[in-house]
């Protein structure tokens, strides 16, 4: 079994869709929703206790989290700081299983899952979104754009896009024995 640690429900829904595309059997995955990035870094979080109790049946742990905006006034924001913190977390937890991670961001290594997903849109869609954001009176975050325009489509993203390659490779490695 692979434990997938995620920030929220949207992350688990997205990963479920992607894993379905990769033919990963759903029964091989258990999601642990930490309800926010900052909670993932709390080693005293009750979900880590649950994971520790089940280590004998866990093959691997996969952690996904957002890079966030490095300008945010919070301690672990931006790709570099997130990567440092996740490596420190893995060392601190010292679970005797394979642990890997993926940090969601746009092509500039900033942003969120939604930024990552918007980075795979074709040129026409990207131009449309950028034009809308430019002429709109208020600043629109990638989360707002994604939730307004793309969330309601069942599968709006082309999983063969090059930006999915690293994430798919990590997942295929984790589930290599289960994928047929």
Residue 4, CA distances (Å) to 79, 96, 121, 139, 158 in order: 20, 16, 26, 33, 22
Angle of helix 9-21 versus helix 165-174 axis, rounded to 10:
80
Considering the entire predicted model, what is its pTM?
Answer: 0.89
In angstroms and rounded to an integer, the radius of gyration of the C-alpha atoms of the chain is 17
Q: Taking the domain 2-120+159-174, which CATH number applies?
A: 3.40.50
CA distance 107 to 141: 15
Reported as a single tens digit per residue, the pLDDT across 108-143 is: 898 999 889 888 888 888 898 888 888 887 777 777
Q: Can you give the pLDDT at residue 178? A: 58
- Label residue 47 by pLDDT band (50, 70, 90): very high
């Amino acid at each position: 079994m692979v434990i997938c640690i995620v920030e929220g429900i949207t992350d688990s829904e997205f990963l479920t869709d992607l894993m379905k595309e990769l033919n990963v059997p759903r029964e091989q995955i258990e999601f642990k929703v930490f309800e926010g990035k900052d909670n993932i870094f709390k080693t005293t979080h009750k979900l880590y206790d649950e994971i520790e109790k089940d280590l004998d049946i866990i093959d691997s742990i996969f952690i996904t989290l957002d890079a966030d905006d490095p300008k945010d006034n919070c301690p672990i924001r931006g790709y570099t700081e997130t990567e440092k913190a996740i490596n420190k977390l893995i060392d601190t937890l010292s679970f005797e299983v394979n642990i890997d991670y993926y940090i969601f961001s746009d092509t500039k290594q900033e942003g969120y899952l939604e930024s990552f997903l918007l980075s795979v849109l074709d040129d026409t869609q990207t131009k449309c979104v950028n034009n809308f954001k430019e002429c709109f009176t208020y600043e629109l975050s990638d989360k707002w754009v994604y939730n307004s325009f793309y969330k309601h489509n069942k599968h709006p993203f082309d999983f063969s896009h090059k930006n999915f390659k690293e994430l798919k490779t990590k997942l295929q490695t984790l589930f290599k024995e289960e994928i047929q």
